[in-house]
Amino acid sequence: MVPLPRELAEDILSRLPAQSLVRFRSVCKRWNALFDEKSFNKVQFARARPQFICMTNSNIYSIDIIGLDGVDPTINLLDLPSKPYYRKLDFNCISITTCDGFLFCNSFPNAFVFFCPGMTKGTAFWNPWLKQVKWIDFEEKDFDACGLGYDNTRDEKVYKILGSFMCRREVAIYDCTSQAFKFIDTPNEDWSITEVQRSSVSLNGNLYWISPIPDKFDFCEFLIRSFDFSRDIFKPFCLLHCRKMDFCDLLVLQVFNENRLSLLKQCYKTRKVEI
């Protein structure tokens, strides 16, 4: 038997769904090592079909839509393996965002934490298909993480976490490689860490989230703010053309086609959806 050339084998494997790669780790040492290479993961993630993450009170699912361009698309509902929530966390205060195919899971505090001594905060990187979970235990225990990104001007990606020390009212960046904090100045910045925690998305290394315009007292007009990890600054990205006509109207920001942002608005009264 003549083995396949390495380049051809890698190309074939990169086209398979991520859940298949877990089983193929036991085929040989070369394949097992290949699945941990950053270059292979980048290609595999780029070819994967987009999926939705659905959270219920008891479980986390991945929703895969097959044949979206066809007449009768199929929906697959998959229970995500290797859930990171073996720690006692407040499930109602968990946010999950994506960055380069990884899931950034963060349990942020709320008022109930102070009344539930057993409840803790937690931040983790999660690759559900390869069953890999890496918890980040901050040396500064009062640090509240809110989003993940990296400096997109560097060839090598060094992941960083934006957050704040609420007691000291200081904003800081946690370097995941050096495990060190860098404090940044935020002059005249009107932003809320809760906004970033609940609605931020990561695109090309930067964070984006929806924020109400400060001087609009009716809170019906919004803009998209961003944090640039290459320059460590907050900045406005763009004004939103749509308004909230009702307090319960829904605005959802997501990444589209890997390099764009998309916004979904649903009217609470009519249930009409606009994108």
Cα–Cα distances in angstroms (integers) from residue 168 to residues 42, 143, 162, 172, 197, in the given order: 38, 10, 15, 11, 18
Confidence label for 208 from pLDDT (cuts 50, 70 and 90): very high
pLDDT tens track for 47-96: 766 677 777 766 777 777 776 666 677 877 777 765 655 555 555 667 77
What's 2's DSSP letter?
A: P
E-state strands within 7-142? 51-55, 60-66, 74-79, 94-99, 102-107, 122-127, 132-135
119 alpha carbon, distance to own chain's centre: 23
Q: What is the mean pLDDT of residues 221-245?
A: 87
Nearest-angstrom CA–CA distance, 89 and 122 = 7
Residue 199 has pLDDT above 80, yes or no: no
Q: What is the mean pLDDT of residues 163-192?
A: 79
Contact (CB, 8 A) for 206 and 253: no
pLDDT at res. 72: 73
pTM given for the model: 0.74
Top mean-pLDDT range of 40-49, 215-224, 233-242 = 233-242
Of the chain, the end-to-end C-alpha distance in Å amounts to: 53
pLDDT at res. 115: 39
pLDDT tens track for 105-117: 877 654 444 334 4
Of 2, 21, 91, which is closest to residue 55 (Cα–Cα)? 91
